[in-house]
A and B are shown apart, each in its own frame.
Chain A
Amino acid sequence: MGAREVLRRTPLALTVFAIAIGLIYILFVTKALPNTGAGGYWRTTNFGSAVSDPTDFLYTVLDSVTFAGLLFIVASGFTLIFGLMRTVNMAHGSFFLIGGYIAYDVQQSMTTSSGFGLTSAQVGWWQWIVPAIVACAAVAVIGLAMQQAFLRWNQGQEIRQALITIAVSLILADQMIAHWGGLEKNIAFPNDVGTGTAFIKLGGLSYGWSRMFILLVAIGIGVGLWLWLHKTRIGMVIRAGVDDRHMVSALGVNVQLVFALSFLVGSALAGFGGVMGGSFAGLAPEVDGQWLLNALVVVIIGGMGSLGGAAVGALLFAFVSNFSGLYLPTTSNQCCTQYSVIFTFALLAFVLALRPLGLFGRPA
């Protein structure tokens, strides 16, 4: 084995090694923080190892999986648009936030709210579903308008399109501050799956329905998108368009119509993600940037334009960020969970070193 061969295999070996170390550390090595709370040493963590504290370990796993569900909803819209049109929609985060705000306004007007935040106890199913539908429709229209007005005529100029969507996101962000202010707004989940009101029994664990609901909806959306792309005629055209746009249009398919449709669906997914995110965590300025980043990390890891890649990327990102946030040593106030963001860097670096186009990415 030559030196070049060794060099080529180094990233993979390092990755396997890092994963193994991490698993062993989390499963067996760590110890719980002493009750005195006076710091600890290199292997003290919040919960201790998975073997000694399986409950908190399982909660962390569940939290990761359900967070991945939300990530998938947002990233799938992003990757759908990119896969077909090679358009990177930098306004995706803004669409997320504006969808949430619209749903918030509609929900406030549908309930007898006195202007304060609603709790789930005041909200029934329809008072959540109708705002969600209105928000999706509104964001889909905004996305379609943006595509038709600014992106349609420069199809193929990817950087220019990205700059245009950045400009749109800049304007939208300022407009949202002007109309909804800087305070955090919360949408309420319906009572049956409300945050802190409804719990589901999973074995011995009692888990919040709201997170389970997000996961179930995400699975539903994933299955729906897969069926749409793989079992319908229009989905077939979209997949063909991903492979060879020019050939599809030469065969007499109205590609512009297909583009418009996928932009419509992609934007609606961003808006729906905003409804979910707003019910789950709240809406505020700068949330748009966070979710643009989340979508970007997921699709860069998973591979741009791949639905399966978005699912895998969402899971990896959610697991790494959750576990590094909770299972790094807490030897003092200074160390080490504050460094959890480095693990997201590392995940990105490892994936790109192994596969520059992401795990499931294919060259254009």
Chain B
Amino acid sequence: MTSAAQLQTRAERIVGIVVLLLLVLGPIGNTVFGSFWVNGILTQSLWLGIAAMSLIFLSAYGGMVSLCQVSLYGISALVLANVVTSGQTKGLHLGWSPWVGVVLAITITTVIGVAFGALASRSFGIYFLMLTLTLAVLTNYFFGQVTLLSGFGGVGGIQSHTPSLIGNPNLEPDRLYYVSLVVGIVVYLAIRYLVRTPFGVTLQGVRDDPVRMASLGYNVSLHRMVAFGFAAFVASLAGILFGWWNDTINPGTVNLSSVIALLVIAVIGSLFRLEGAWVGAFAYVYINNEVENHNWTVPWLGGTFNTMIGVIFLAIVCLSPGGLLGIWGSCFEWLSRRFPTSSPRLATAAAGTTESAPPSVEGTDR
């Protein structure tokens, strides 16, 4: 009596536990893959995954494909850098305690996120996408122009002002890695919880039919705005981890290519499932690393990593809008069609109720 959905859930549980165990043992990978493994691949995948999760949360449960999550984590890292650093660096270099920096980074980013959300929450579908892209690029200009806070060269030296829990991530990368892992898991569980609360269910109602939800008396814009603020909160966590990991924050962190990189990560993983954030982030970081290590170029076209990832991105969007996890899900559907174990009607009925069925982003376009 195993339907495709049950089989998939079971397989995912096993895969999830195995991956989690591997991640806990991550630092051992350094001896297998080289010293860059934890700091260069895993930690980067983890904080990028958290940032991507804020994008996927909005797209999967709010029907909003936002392109300014990168700006939000950039703002968070910028606040952190301005507050904690001191001495020779640019920026405000207030030199306050690292934990004050964390709190301020989260607060200010969330407030700005709510403001962005207030601006964007009345737009839907493609308008929302464009508006958030515009906000993202304007944020990039803001970083470049405002020399009081950042300027073109950005602010550096965050790593010498981390909390004692983290230490200097350059010398002891494992600590930051485990913190990122814990934060990532907590964020994941928090979102899983949030979407089951009345707020989360209403948000999904808004995603599927904003007009109907409005006529039922729900404040559509408010729900989308609050969801956007929550996503900004998640992005601010990613920004803090990024600040500790990268040591510097400059306009390049929030430029258009970074914006598109995060979108690529989310789409490759899956725009409709939270787990896709990690899958996409790991795939992106790993491929990028391999291409740079081996200096690969695209045969007879020229171009390097961006051409390759662009082609992968294009192929995924054309062939499997649900991303790699969509392909994974289709494998189980194919299996159940190929080897029907119970009555087919039962299997499809069960498949229809699984939460992995991608909700249509297009449903909110109008």
Contact = CB atoms under 8 A, between A and B. Distances in A.
Given A170-B260, A174-B307, A293-B137, A158 B148 contact: no
Nearest to A304: B127
Interface in B124-156: 125-127, 129-131, 133-135, 137-138, 141-142, 145-148
Contact of A167 (B305, B314, B365): B314
A205 interface: no
A300 B131 contact: yes
A175 interface: yes
Contact of A170 (B125, B133, B255, B306): B306
B267 interface: yes
A112 interface: no
A296 B137 CA distance: 11
Contacts of B119: 348-349, 352-353
A171 B131 CA distance: 23
Interface string B319-345: 001000000000000000000000000
A150 B314 contact: yes
B171 interface: no
A157 B362 contact: yes
Contacts of A334: 147-148
Contact of A174 (B263, B306, B365): B306
A349 B321 CA distance: 32
Contacts, number: 129
Nearest to A174: B306
A250 B310 CA distance: 37
A289 B311 contact: no
Interface string A223-236: 00000000000000
A3 B302 CA distance: 62
B309 A170 contact: yes
Nearest to A337: B145
A286 B137 CA distance: 12
B65 interface: yes
A178 B302 contact: yes
Given A167-B311, A289-B137, 12 more contacts: A167-B314, A170-B260, A170-B306, A171-B307, A175-B301, A175-B302, A300-B130, A334-B148, A338-B148, A341-B145, A345-B142, A356-B122
Interface of B: 65, 119, 122-123, 125-127, 129-131, 133-135, 137-138, 141-142, 145-148, 255-257, 260, 263-264, 267, 297, 301-307, 309-311, 313-314, 317-318, 321, 361-362, 365-366
